Structure formats: structure tokens, C-alpha cells
Structure 1
Amino acid sequence: MARFEFKLPDIGEGIAEAEIVAWHVAPGDVVEEDAPLADLMTDKATVEMTAPVAGKVLSIAGAVGDQIAIGSVLAAFEIEGDAEIQEPLVEVAPNEAAQVVKPDPDPKPSPQRGEGRERGETATSAAPPESVTTGLLPSNSHPGLFEPLPGGEREQKEQKKVLASPAVRARAKALGIDLAQVKPANGDHVRHADLDAFLTYNQGYRPAAAARPDETVKVIGLRRRIAENMAASKRAIPHFTYVEEIDVTKLEALREDLNDTRGDKPKLTLLPLLIVALCKTLPDFPMINARYDDEAGVVTRHGAVHLGMATQTDAGLMVPVIRDAQDRNIWQLASEIRRLAEAARGGKAKSEELSGSTLTLTSLGPLGGIVTTPVINRPEVAIIGPNKIVERPILRDGEIVAAKLMNLSMSCDHRVVDGWDAASFVQALKRLLETPALLFVD
């Protein structure tokens, strides 16, 4: 048996030491090559070190939280063999600087290794140690003597196949890493720890996300009802969508003023003001506030506005209904919106509160996007979707000014609502929203 000492490799440029954050082995454990050994943290990242050899763990360097210097022994192993083995390090003879041979600009036949020493010849150079470059190998005859590789031998070394286990090769291939770019920490065998170090300092090679297992979810309950209703709506209704941009700068200023003086009233969002505008506009466009019984061939144009509010819940999309929205003021609308949303999300909405709508409003708030193409809530004939408000420069009266703009998307049943009617309705709505004082006059 032999002793193998695994010294902590340089796991990052400029790193002098690393902190032990976890041990995956203990003295006495028998491990396989490339098995997890320890997690070490530098000031940049945490790197998992793996066992460079298979064998029995004899000792480990410190406890969790200890700092360990680069080059010091991280763990010692008992492995198969006769001689004591240590990680290879460049040694310098006592009282003697590292000897370097510079390539001769006028090449001559080189003596066999060790031949110069036998004749009492010594090749030296005044070059500092950092001048040792790739292509110089330590001489077998003297631990401090380096000799240049002959050209052909150097090319063979560069073209030599990288040594790595099948698991390391498969991982590198999956990550798109050329193993030739990875510098082994110990010897010339690339291990998982070398890949971890490479990934730590080459972030572009990291995978976008971890793979997750597939899961099968049975479509039941409310989710099944939603699926059936949406499929029936798209199957039966020829949808068309009309989108218009609305300047809500004044409307937002009004909303902020109302909120500043609301007292104990509920805080206003944009929706109560939009509902007021809808209720004031719909009498002139009765074909919008309607339901179509396509089996009976009858369209019912409703006088009252029973407004459906598409609400996202943990169980799926629900549409609680604000009854007689036309009879409520903005504060009453704000209170009813909050009550119905809480009831739907809490699973406490009554059946009569989830049916009978004549027109639906669907809003994703700040997630509203630029444009939506909402699906009609059958048997209604229209659905309205306000999109998110964005602030951007516009030209007004010859000057560039900042404005708060919002797109309004509206899907209609083309069997009942013509394009002209939809466009006219949205333009009338736009006029009220851009001149909010008109919302509160007869």
C-alpha cells in the first residue's frame, strides 16, 4: 500500500487560500476516483473538489470553517502500490536557483539527457524563474534543471489526447467545453473538480438551468371547465381584436388626487375609472353589452351592465360579476372589486356571483403587456383588456413631452359586432379616458 497526498490546487487566479465549507468524506472512508471530497469557497465562488484517486481516506485538513492555503495537503489517501506518492511539485535544489536552458538561436544536435552532467557541463541562465514557459519539462537527472523539448516532441505533447474519465468527458460535452481548454490541477488527468473550477471562472459555459423531471397533471375540476369553455369559445366564435393607444396622463393624475383625499375609502386602481367610462359609453353601443344564443339564433342586448372581472386564482381563472355596475360610483366599484376578488381567491364566491355577466373586463395589471388578444367569455360578444401603462415621450402641440400611455385591447364576436362598431366604441371610450372630467358630468 502507498500514501497519496492531495494538495489543494490553484482554484482561481490570485487566490491564496480557500475556506472549507463542507466535507463529503471522513478519515476511514473508502472512496472512488472522482467521488465528492469537499466544498471550498473562495472570495468568488464555491468549488467542489473530488477525489483524485481511489482509496482509503487517512486524514483531512481541518474542520468546516478553516482556511487552507493553496498547495497545502487537503487530504491523504491510502492507495494500491508500494512507494509513497505525493502530488508532483517543482523542486529547487538547496542553495541553488532553478536552472533554465534557453533555446539556442543556432540549433545544434542536443546531447542525450544527463550527458552534459556526466561530462561536468552545466547549462545555466540568468533568466528569472518566471521565464520558465510551456515547453520546458523538469529533467529526470536533476530536480531543478529544465530542458526545452525538441520541436517534434513538443508538438506531440500539444496534440496529445486529454486524459479524462468517461463521466468527465460526457459532462464536458454536455456543457460544450473543450477539455483541451481545462487545466488539470493535478497531473494531466482532467477531473470533475477541474471542470468545476473552469466553470467558476468561465461563467458563459454554465448551463442555462438545471434539468427537471417531467410531471403529469390531470386536468380536472375548475381547470377542466376553463379548458372546455375556452375551447368552445374559440371553436364557435370568429374573434377579431381591435387595439387603440390611450393617453391616460390626466386620468392617472386624477386617480392620484382622489387617492390623496380618499380618507377611509378604498384605494383606487385604474379599473373603477375604466368601468365608469364603460358604463357611460355602452348605452350608445348596445351591441357590445350583449349575449348571443347561437343555438336559438337570438342576441339579447342588455340594459344593465353586469360586468365580469377575470380574476386569477390558485385554482385557475374565475370571473366574478359586478351586478348593475352602472348604478355604482367609483368608491363602490373599488369596494366591490376588492370583495369579489378576495372571495374568488379564497374559494368563497357564491355560484350567483360567478355567472350572468354581460361583458367581461380582463386586466393583468403591471403584467398587462403591450397588446393582448383576450378570448371572449361565451355567450358574451366582447371582452376588454387594458394593457400596462408606460411612460414615454410624445409630440404634443409641437413639443416633446412625457406622457403615460396605455393600449386598450378589445376582442369581439364578428357574428354580432362589426369592425366599425368596435372601433367607434373604443374611440368614444378613449375620449372619456383622455378627458376624465367628462366621467363625472351627465
Structure 2
Amino acid sequence: MQPTAEPHNATLVEKTPLETYVPPAKPSLIGLSRTELADCLGEIGVAPAQRKMRVQQLWHWLYFRGARSFDDMTSISKGIRTDLAERFTVDRPEVVAEQISNDGTRKWLLRLPSGDNVERAHEVECVYIPETDRGTLCVSSQVGCTLNCSFCHTGTQRLVRNLTAGEIVGQVMVARDRLNDWADREDGTRRVTNIVMMGMGEPLYNFDAVRDALLIVGDNEGIGISRRRITLSTSGVVPNIVRAGEEIGVMLAISLHAVRDELRNELVPLNRKYPIAELLQACRDYPGASNARRITFEYVMLKGVNDSLDDAKLLVKMLKGVHAKINLIPFNPWPGTAYECSDWDQIEKFSEYIFNAGYSSPVRTPRGRDILAACGQLKSETEKLSARERQTLRAMAMTD
């Protein structure tokens, strides 16, 4: 049955940011491109002829070795390090709290300083999911979310502001810091092997910052995560989908969840602006899509809402001509939701039909449910903790 409760702000398609980014007095170099780093070197008087070499040194220390202070950058002259430290930092977001799930999933609450006003500091969540063959980091793109998907806990938040490229890259760097995952790791392996832009926010409503951040994350002279191991998930911001393929070139995931416009209008209100037919055409036009680089269609399984075999049949029909795989997601409950997860046998029947039609249809194993770190659950729940509880969690995060 359809839920009887009215979804939160069901008629609202998009939210307006409440604030804009206020940079700190000493900006961080994290998130800057090579060109921007060269400009910073120019500000401290480095001669143009030296900047290319110095940029390469900075890039190596920042993004390959994960240096946390200019003093660590021993291949750069002490004078340049001193001048850089007077004007800039290499700060990342601050870990306020860390929660570890029974299944090993880690969720970090990260504080993003805004200017010199601590009271205006915002917070986002970032999740690390360890698996036998990979380690996936789920990264946020906004404080809150532009959209208002009725089944998503994050969608019940206000949209405070977009993150900067540095704040997005900074989440990856914090994860590597916490997991001891930089270039000097003894066994030479990496714990963070995959990135998914599936945290708080709609990435394609913060296009420029997300693009600039992912180009840094995918740079093979720095953090070096292959673009085929980076997935950007969107609820369907159609004008920016093809642009993402052209300017970023990562894997694409579509937060679909319904095969009829009437239902998707409720589950994903953005559908009123960009209906299913327009969304699918953008997917067909996505640069680089092929059998080897299929588009993932995410489909959360909601009991009695979108999980019938008729829905499965329509899903197969509508994806004809799209290089696609379907990722079925058991609904992850959150406080106050009106939805329920589909019964397991129904999920299996749905998956079997899609598989028999020739599409890969894995069922995503829920991870981190006990710490509200699973898909659709992120909402900075730690903001509700008392001052004493927050202080305790922060102390634990600092000493781990």
C-alpha cells in the first residue's frame, strides 16, 4: 500500500541555499588545481620560471603523500615553506565524531570551518565501507541537500550551502589520514579504492566544485583513484548529465526508484522538472557509456510502492537502448519515515525478472544501518547529541 503520511515538503522540487561559503582568513591549499597553486606561489613571490617545479612538489606532498603541514614538505626550500605557512594552510575538515558499525563501516562527522566564526562552522557526514575486494568512500557534496526525495533522510534537511572543491577532496584526505592510507603505507596497498558521490547533497547542483574535486581525486600523480572507480550519483539534473560525462568522465549512477512519472514525482520531486523520458535520453547521450562502462540505475525497494513484477517489466522496457545495470537497494528505515522495506522474497523475484531479461541486478547489501550510515540515512544525527556526548565522541575520534 502507498504510505498515508504526507512526504516531507512533498510539493517542493528544489531548495535554495541558506548561506554562501565564507573562506577562512588563511585559506587551505587543499582542492586547488595546479594553475591555482601556481597563483598562490606567485603571491608569495616565487619567480614564474620556478613555479612549475614548485607546483609539482606541492602536488606530490599534498595529494600523494598527504602532508599535514608545510614543515613535512622537506624537498621544498625552508624559505618557501615559511612564506606559504604565513599565507595558507593544508587543513582538511575536522573529525568531530567517528562511529564504527558492527559490520566495520565507519561514519565520520566532519566540521567545515567558515571564516573565523566557529558558530557558523557547518558539518557533513562521510562514510567508509570496507569490503573484501575494495574500500568504498561515500562523499558528500552539499551541507544538507537541494532535493526533497520523500524516502531519503538526507532530503528532510535544509540546504545550507554547497561544498567547495577543497571540502570535497578534504573528505578523501581525511579518510586516508584516519585509515593510514597514504604513499608510505607499508604493504603498498590502498584501503580507499573507490569513491561514490552518494553522500549528502545532489552533486550536479554543485557541478563546478564536484568536477574540480574529482579531477584532483582522479589525477594519477596524486590521490590517483581511477575515474572508472569513481561514481557520481544524480537524481536526474538532466542539463548537467552529459556535461558531467564530457568534463569529468567518471561512472554515472541514476537515482531512479520508479518507472512511472506519477510515482517518481512523489518519490523524487525533481521528476516534475525533468521527467523520466528526458532523463533516459540524457543517459543514452552520456559520453563513454558502453557495455564496459554501464550506467547504474539505483532502485530503492519500497514495500507495496514500487516493487511489483509489473514495475520490473516496465523497468526492463524503459531501459531498452541504454547500457545499464540495475542496483536494487533494500530500503533503509529512518526515524519518522512512512515507508517500509520490500519483503525479501519480493526483492528476489524482482531481481530475478530483471536478470532473466539480460540486465545485471545485484541487491545492495545494507551496510552501517546501526549507525545510520546506510544509503539514504545520512543526516548528521550527531548534531542532536548533547554537548557532553559530542565532546566524548570527539575525544574518541582524536585518540583512535
Same fold, TM exceeding 0.5?
no
Q: Which has the higher contact order (CA 8 A, sep 6+)?
A: 2
TM-score range with shorter-chain normalisation? under 0.3
Q: Where is the strand percentage greater, Structure 1 or Structure 2?
A: 1
Greater Rg over alpha carbons, structure: 1
TM-score, with length taken from structure 1:
0.20
Quick check: which one's helix share is greater? Answer: 2
The TM-score normalised by the length of structure 2 is 0.22
